[in-house]
């Protein structure tokens, strides 16, 4: 999982070797019966093998030779092996990812505590012996022994074993970044952690089970399609049985020996049954889960992936998803006759000790506009005033001047305490910035207002275009923000979202989700905090951030290991791609039958009705070559489509009707044309071989 190169590889030598071994192991009857369509091929292969053995002892219908029966039997067994191979390759990719994860899952010692704050009584125990509710200490350089919640301390944690990202993250008690995962490593300081999972049910255990396919269950759509394919196969069994009866009756009427062979009928049944999609169905589902894992997302069920594909409403956090997450200074707006340069100098001085992204952006903007350099702080006895939650101001005392910057209301109170008048022009500027979706920071010097710094939410590049693409797909986007309605409306308009939810609360999020669900929509959302848990539980597709709280992760049906709110869009694309792949290959598989019909039916009945030869539009060499060509193509097409089943049909952000037309054209018409070409080419090769022999 943490090997980026391995994740993006579809095949490698080791994986293929394991898949080949698994291909033969899957020939067990108890495994074959799990796929009813391919079980029909499996039974047909056994039947032709028995018929071949009997023919060696002179027991046969004397219509076809032992060599022909043997060839058919071999092709049918190869067809079964190809189907097994497709599934084994898909499973192999998951098992390779699981193997990487298992490297992170190792027995480590834990320092168990009796209570928070008491480090005098430490008991060293194996991490496997920790139970839910236990407390343990993790210090710098130690591996976190179990999933838990930080209850004391703050530390830098290396989560690369889980996420694949080398950059450390901060985990601390309280807030929305308190969850830690077993198998990660503490890099600095220490943490007191409360275990939140029972033994064997850790996040890593769940991940391993999901990616290696051990916990994969068939989705409702997959089950429904399988029932349809079984029903179709039963119909073809009845058709083949009827054809044999009809040939018997026709031969009696015509007073001739029945030219219909049982082996021909078996070949016809296998060719008409939807074996292509039957062979690839399981691989498509496994590959869909694998693609999601490659995107560093853990799905708790295949149902969630399919739901993502059907989602038509997305609830997206503003911060980190639509905007970069940090406001940046974009303009200096002087008031009351002060110059912009004077304001820029004061703003820069007040921000030199401000290490926040906003503070650094003010320094950068002043430098870009006026080439301002850092002042001689020591010579001017600069004393920085740090920001506090009480004052909501920061600043500096520099060269005898008091410079302050902060929220308008707080600066107003500061100015009034200095017995100065608050600027009306400043008040107008503050209001205008708020209406434009920005954040105003007022700057004053010695109690006199100099002007306003315009802090702007920076919309991520390409976001507007992405939302336009989603709109084409029929997906509605809703921005969630804690901003006031005026600010939210301005950002929503700039970003191009369809709607917004301002001053969002857990209750308002749930209400919004329910309203859309009651109208028949499928809703997806992201969240990371405990306050997001109710809404995540209500949403059809709920993506919890790995950095979030345990409550959020338990409420979601997916966990994003990268903790990127934008991942929701990728998840929807993967879900839609899964549904498209399954639908496209089903269309291709069923369309195949048309060509096989024209190949086999004339070959079977031309002995009874010579005029049926006009249906031999491909001009196949002989009845024997026609049947063998159809069977061989039926087997080879499975192998040819394995890469497509694993990679998925190319996904484009266009309306559903356009996608349907495109796929019907490509896979519907292609499913008719390709077999005609393929069967004819194979027939030419077989004809050449027969002529040589």
Tell me which H or E stretch contains 675. helix 670-692
How many angstroms separate the most distant Cα atoms in the chain?
A: 122
Buried b (16+ CB within 10 A) or exposed e, 618-627: bebbebbbbb
CB 125 within 8 A of CB 147: no
CB 559 within 8 A of CB 297: yes
- The CA–CA distances, whole Å, from 286 to 301, 302, 656 equal 11, 9, 24
Cβ-proximal residues to 137 (8 Å cutoff; 6+ apart), any chain: 111, 113, 119, 122, 190, 191, 192, 193
Q: Which of 397, 410, 415 is nearest to 336 (CA)?
A: 415
Rounded to the nearest 5°, which phi and psi values hold at 570?
-65, -40
Q: What is the Cβ-side half-sphere exposure of residue 59, based on CA atoms within 13 angstroms?
A: 7
Distance from C-alpha of 330 to C-alpha of 325, rounded to nearest angstrom: 15
SS3 618: coil
Distance from C-alpha of 362 to C-alpha of 329, rounded to nearest angstrom: 5
SS3 406: strand
Cβ-proximal residues to 554 (8 Å cutoff; 6+ apart), any chain: 533
Return the HEC string of 346-364.
Answer: HHHHHHCCCCCHHHHHHHH
Instruction: Taking each helix axis as running N to C, give the angle between helix 567-605 and helix 275-294, from 0 to 180 degrees, rounded to the nearest 10.
Output: 170
Instruction: Fill in the DSSP letter of residue 666.
Output: I
SS3 377: coil
Distance from C-alpha of 573 to C-alpha of 567, rounded to nearest angstrom: 10
Instruction: For residue 317, indicate whether it is catalytic.
Output: yes
Distance from C-alpha of 10 to C-alpha of 72, rounded to nearest angstrom: 32
Q: How many residues does the chain have?
A: 693
SS3 298: strand
Among 134, 147, 317, 540, the one annotated catalytic:
317
Residues linked to residue 542 through DSSP beta bridges, in sequence order:
525
The DSSP result for 464-508, as a single string, is HHHHHHHHHTT-EEEEE-SS-HHHHHHHHHHHT-SEEE-S--HHH
Please state, as a whole number, how many other Cβ atoms lie within 10 Å of the Cβ of residue 498.
15
For CA atoms 263, 265, 268, 273, give the dihedral sign: negative
- The CA–CA distances, whole Å, from 1 to 134, 160, 683 equal 29, 9, 45
Distance from C-alpha of 200 to C-alpha of 105, rounded to nearest angstrom: 11
Residues classed as catalytic: 317
């Amino acid at each position: 999982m943490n090997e980026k190169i391995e994740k993006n590889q579809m095949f490698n030598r080791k994986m293929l070797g394991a898949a080949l071994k698994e291909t033969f192991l899957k020939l067990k009857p108890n495994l074959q019966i799990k796929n009813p369509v391919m079980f029909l091929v499996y039974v047909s292969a056994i039947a032709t093998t028995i018929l071949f053995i009997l023919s060696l002892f002179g027991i046969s219908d004397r219509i076809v030779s032992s060599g022909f029966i043997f060839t058919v039997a071999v092709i049918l067994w190869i067809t079964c092996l190809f189907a097994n191979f497709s599934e084994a390759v898909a499973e192999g990719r998951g098992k390779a990812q699981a193997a990487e994860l298992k490297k992170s899952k190792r027995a480590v010692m834990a320092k168990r505590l009796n209570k928070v704050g008491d480090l005098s009584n430490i008991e060293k125990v194996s991490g496997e012996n920790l139970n839910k509710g236990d407390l343990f200490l993790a210090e710098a350089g130690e591996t976190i022994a179990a999933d838990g919640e930080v209850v004391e301390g703050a530390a830098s944690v290396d989560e690369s074993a889980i996420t694949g990202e080398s950059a450390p993250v901060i985990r601390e008690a309280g807030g929305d970044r308190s969850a830690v995962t077993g198998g990660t490593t503490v890099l600095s300081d220490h943490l007191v952690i409360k275990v939140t999972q029972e033994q064997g049910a850790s996040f890593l255990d769940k991940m391993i089970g999901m990616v290696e396919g051990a916990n994969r269950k068939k989705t409702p759509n997959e089950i429904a399609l399988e029932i349809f394919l079984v029903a179709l196969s039963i119909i073809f069994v009845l058709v083949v049985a009827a054809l044999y009866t009809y040939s018997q009756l026709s031969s009696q009427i015509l007073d001739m020996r029945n030219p219909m062979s049982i082996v021909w009928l078996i070949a016809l049944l296998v060719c008409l049954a939807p074996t292509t999609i039957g062979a690839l169905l399981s691989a498509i589902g496994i590959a869909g889960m694998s693609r999601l894992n490659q995107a560093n997302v853990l799905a708790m069920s295949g149902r969630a992936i399919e739901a993502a594909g059907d989602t038509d409403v997305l609830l997206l956090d503003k911060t980190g998803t639509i905007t970069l997450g940090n406001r940046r200074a974009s303009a200096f707006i002087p008031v009351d006759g002060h110059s912009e340069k004077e304001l820029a100098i004061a703003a820069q001085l007040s921000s030199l000790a401000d290490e926040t992204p906003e503070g650094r952006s003010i320094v950068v903007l002043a430098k870009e506009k006026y080439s301002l350099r850092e002042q001689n702080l020591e010579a001017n006895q600069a004393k920085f005033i740090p920001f506090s939650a009480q004052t909501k101001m920061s600043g500096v005392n520099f060269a005898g001047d008091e410079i302050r910057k902060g929220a308008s209301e707080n600066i107003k109170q500061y100015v009034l305490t200095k017995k100065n008048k608050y600027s009306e022009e400043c008040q107008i500027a503050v209001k205008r910035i708020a209406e434009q979706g920005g954040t105003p920071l007022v700057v004053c010097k010695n109690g006199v207002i100099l002007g306003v710094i315009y802090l702007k939410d920076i919309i991520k590049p390409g976001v507007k275009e992405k939302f336009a693409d989603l709109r084409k797909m029929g997906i509605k986007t809703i921005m969630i923000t804690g901003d006031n309605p005026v600010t939210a409306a301005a950002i929503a308009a700039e970003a191009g979202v369809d709607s917004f939810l301002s001053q969002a609360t857990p209750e308002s999020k749930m209400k919004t989700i329910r309203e859309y669900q009651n109208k028949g929509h499928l809703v997806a959302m992201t969240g990371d905090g405990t306050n997001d848990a109710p809404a995540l539980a209500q949403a059809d597709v709920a993506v919890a951030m790995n950095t979030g709280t345990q409550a959020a992760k338990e409420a979601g049906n997916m966990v994003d290991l990268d903790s990127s709110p934008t991942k929701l869009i990728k998840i929807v694309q993967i879900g839609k791609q899964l549904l498209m792949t399954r639908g496209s290959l089903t269309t291709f598989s069923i369309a195949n039958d048309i060509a096989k019909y024209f190949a086999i039916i004339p070959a079977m009945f031309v002995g009874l009705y010579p005029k049926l030869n006009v249906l031999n539009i491909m001009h196949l060499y002989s009845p024997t070559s026609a049947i063998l060509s159809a069977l061989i193509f039926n087997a080879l097409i499975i192998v040819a489509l394995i890469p497509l089943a694993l990679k998925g049909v190319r996904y484009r952000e266009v309306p559903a009707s356009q996608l349907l037309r495109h796929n019907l054209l490509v896979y519907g018409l292609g499913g008719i044309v390709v077999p005609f070409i393929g069967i004819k080419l194979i027939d030419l090769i077989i004809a050449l071989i027969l002529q040589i022999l």
